[in-house]
Amino acid sequence: MQKFAKLFETQEHGQILVKLDSGDDGAPELRYYFAPEGLGVCSMAINGKDTDKGWSAMAQVFDEQTSETASEVVADLKRQMGI
């Protein structure tokens, strides 16, 4: 069975969920979920192209996700959000 989600417990950002799925348009999507203090659950998606190559590329990015890479994404998002 192929994994579609990874849950990381981080000291700086708490839980980070990374999910490989299809977006509203059917294209591949890698979505990050996190819950900053004082806010509810937030999410951000990286979208790919709805082609075999696009799905393969997004699956590779998902497979390469580690606690460190997910934390980097969330840290960048929090900076952009001003939190």
Picking from 29, 42, 40, 31, the residue whose alpha carbon sits closest to that of residue 78 is 42
As given in the structure block, the two tokens for residue 55 are: 């799905």
pTM of structure: 0.91
pLDDT band for position 2 (cuts 50, 70, 90): confident
CA atoms within 13 A on the CB side of 28: 18
Q: CA 60 to CA 68: how far, in whole Å?
A: 16
Partner residues linked to 6 by β-bridges: 18
As given in the structure block, the two tokens for residue 40 are: 């509810």
**18-75 pLDDT tens trace:** 999 998 899 999 999 999 988 999 999 999 999 999 999 999 999 999 999 999 999 9
Helix, strand, or coil here: 15?
strand
